[in-house]
Structure 1
Amino acid sequence: MAGQYQEYQILLLGLMMMTTGLFCASRAQDPSQLSLDYYLKTCPDAQKIVRAEMECAVKEDPRNAAAILRLHFHDCFVQGCDGSVLLDDTITLKGEKEAAQNVNSLIGFDLIDRIKNQLESQCPGTVSCADLLAIAARDATLLVGGPYWDVPVGRKDAKTTSLELANSDIPAPNQGVIALMTKFLEKGLSVTDLVALIGAHTIGMARCVSFRERIYGDFELTSHLDPTSEIYLGKLKETCPVSGGDDNIAAMDYVTPYVFDNAFYQSLVKGDGLLNSDQEMYSSLVGFATSDLVKMYASDPLAFFKQFSDSMVKMGNITNPEGGEVRTNCRFVNT
């Protein structure tokens, strides 16, 4: 077993060196253009406008918090945080909304439209959709009990999208630790960032098609060890049958699904993670680095909140090296 552990260490070290090298070689992005006072003179009430709309939206439906946070994450993992995920398909442009991890999954586009309309009425052609999304994601987190962080702004909106990159770069629910580490490291995000950022699942929902393999596989094999886990698994199977019901949803944190807290990590320690990719953070044989972080966040909510805030700023600073524009409509490039 010791020899196997050593082999895993060598494998992970090689992976981290390889992916770090790829990141450094391709890093043309310049987050230094972002600042906290970017809109101080041009649209001083920008953050107040976003916050007011998010307060109404989360009050109407707490799921809106998770929806916006997810949109921001999926945006940043393709071309950087550039609002490309918001673009609709046109005759000349194929957007990212039909990517495997986006189709029938992402919601909240109407809410983004609503916020953008308010910003355009106050400060026409000033606040980018990418910045709007980054600010809204922070407010979404805060409004359901999560931490606050200052959001550097000044991002530009992409004029292009990449369905191919959306299909390849966005983490998938059935991937293992090595694949997830690779995808995060390629974005300049560490293993610590990976474990902290999946904590957003504390307010997320997942479709049956994303967790069916898990509940009829590994979870079924271990649930008998705890009566409450068996009951939970039974409810999941009612929601997600062996066939059909692909779009039925279940909370990734079944304890406090609409509160941003560390209960999600406690469920992983117990073995009750809904997604295979989440449970792998604690249970995988190669997850010795991630499992320690999961245990720490499960027992120390303040440590989780601090790292989540830091990692969100770090992810939000991934900008599109090609630059862009400030869209007047988040669904379409300017004409």
Structure 2
Amino acid sequence: MTETDVTRVTHRIDVAAPADAVYRIVSDVSLWPLYFPPTVRAERTAGDDSDERIRIWAVAHGEVRTWESRRRLDRAAREVRFEQTRPSDPVAAMGGRWEVRERGDGDCTVVLDHHYRAVGDDPSALARIADAVETNSVSELSHLRLAAERAGSEDELLLDFSDTEVIPGPAADVYDFLYDAAKWPERLPHVVRLDLRENVTGLQYMEMDTRAPDGSVHTTVSGRVCTPGRRIVYKQTRLPPVLRAHNGEWLLEDAGDGTVRVTARHQVVLNPEGIAALPEPPASLGAARDAVRHSLGSNSRATLARAKAFATAR
């Protein structure tokens, strides 16, 4: 790339939290699905805390996209430099830098730089990339600030729970039921409507209307990353007002004797403002936690029961 080929853009935000606490979130990509709405899944694939390779799956323009990046981390400078190693069309090259600057009053400023090019320097592709960088950068920075500033209350707002079912039959049959979400409205009583888009096999974007135990219907938008026969990871990017984040996964493991152990896991961050705005808000945060656990768990258990019936009938 030459300087004239590259588009450069900078975003920044002030955060009322210590620089080290903010850098921890920036540097640990395993936290990103919880804190950054576009990120469905993120993991380190090689390296260490100073030089690593990561893979990210994220929602952009109504689809799930994935890429690999190399990151160089400088803890002393609170800086992370990144460069995509395998950009996907229409991105020809993408890189940048996170920098967390201490302000001297216990707060900090986060600077996020990007540089990028479009395949063939196509103007329409460049516009799509610019829009995605702008949208995701603004979202990531605002949610980074929110996560860092609410760190003291994180334990009481975070729920991490799971439900498990042992199902007779091959994992492939259970996986097929969970993967073929387009058929859920006819298979699952709590799913009212579901629109699914899958431009790349295994990367799904879906909009779903779900009926809660109290009879109310909520619309959610999710990205899903599907690993055949083993795992489906998902992230809700449009949420009911009582939640700030909701990540989940369906995990399939061999349980022996021709059975498969299926675990439905949820990781949720509550939204106190959304809870308080309900027509009949729960009496306490603990009651809200119980209500969310019951609602999500009920739907997961219903799905597991139907998956079991589907697999045993084949």
Q: TM-score range by the shorter chain?
A: under 0.3
Q: Mark the structure with the bigger radius of gyration.
A: 2
Q: Name the structure where helix makes up a greater proportion of residues.
A: 1
Q: TM-score, normalization: structure 2?
A: 0.25
State the TM-score, normalized to the length of structure 1. Answer: 0.23
More strand by share: 2
